[in-house]
Amino acid sequence: MKPAPRRPLLLLCALASAAALSILLIAPPPLAAHLSSLLLAFPASPYAGSPKLVFLLAGQSNMAGRGVAPPPPLPPPFRPHPRVLRLAASRRWVVAAPPLHADIDTHKACGLGPAMPFAHRLLLHATAADSDSDLVLGLVPSAVGGTRIWMWAKGEPLYEAAVARARAAVAAGGGTLGAVLWFQGESDTIELDDATAYGGRMERLVNDLRADLGIPNLLVIQVGLASGEGNYTDIVREAQRNIKLPNVILVDAIGLPLRDDQLHLSTEAQLQLGDMLGQAFLKFNSSMDSRQ
């Protein structure tokens, strides 16, 4: 049995977000579209029907984004691009613009996260290699703030919603799932039991995602924690470094600047992290190409 959390209000908010997300993502498209329309209206994209390189964004608040937007204009890596799309909660492809999780992580105020700078890094690389590149990227936000990794286990609402969302993203206009970008674990630093169980739970999560999505070698890029909510951050970080699965790579956020709450990454840190994630993905693909 799970030990009683020390922060029941935060956990209740996370559970409420998970429940709302599961309704939005697993509901039939007409109902999901109606629910999503009650939150925000997003512009459709002319590239909605184009094949895409898709990325599932999962985890908690630092993936959803809590970076504070500076006075306009936004830094270029955070700005919309016509070939960077986002799968809305209604399962409709729209032009990606921060906050990417506005209709996903609905119980918190979302801000700037790492996904837009990540996408811009990939587009920059594609254009440098081929000025006529027609690469279209599809971002699939699924992160919810305040969630612990047991809430992402197979059978839990967050897991089932993320899998349904990834399947819908690949089916909607065609495309391939390039990687899962995973940034989570801060909430698992509160309880010693959660911290010591983190490595095994993460490995089960990766194996379950690969099995349910039918991609045995699916790349998972996990972010090493830059902060934690409790006293067991070092235990979770050690677990992240010791994942014993192929095609799971670590991008370490330690040392990146934090906001005043000493928990969430600053806007500058999110920009740096997005670029680091992009470089890690490109390096992985380059190494795979060299082996073929």
Catalytic residue IDs: 61, 261, 264
Report the alpha-carbon distance of residue 7 to residue 208 in Å, rounded: 29
Report the alpha-carbon distance of residue 70 to residue 14 in Å, rounded: 27
173 closest CA partner among 54, 57, 30, 56: 54
SS (H, E, C) 220-267: EEEEECCCCCCCCHHHHHHHHHCCCCCCEEEEECCCCCECCCCCCECH
Buried b / exposed e over 233-271, threshold 16 CB at 10 Å, is bebbbebbeebeeebbbbbbbeebebbeeeebbbbebbb
Max Cα–Cα distance, the chain, nearest Å: 56
Tokens of residue 101, six digits: 């999780």
Checking DSSP bridges between strand 248-252 and strand 84-87, what pairing results, if any? unpaired
Report the alpha-carbon distance of residue 134 to residue 275 in Å, rounded: 21
Report the alpha-carbon distance of residue 250 to residue 32 in Å, rounded: 34
Report the alpha-carbon distance of residue 99 to residue 89 in Å, rounded: 13
Radius of gyration of the chain from Cα atoms?
18
- Is residue 63 within 8 Å of residue 114, measured between CB atoms? yes
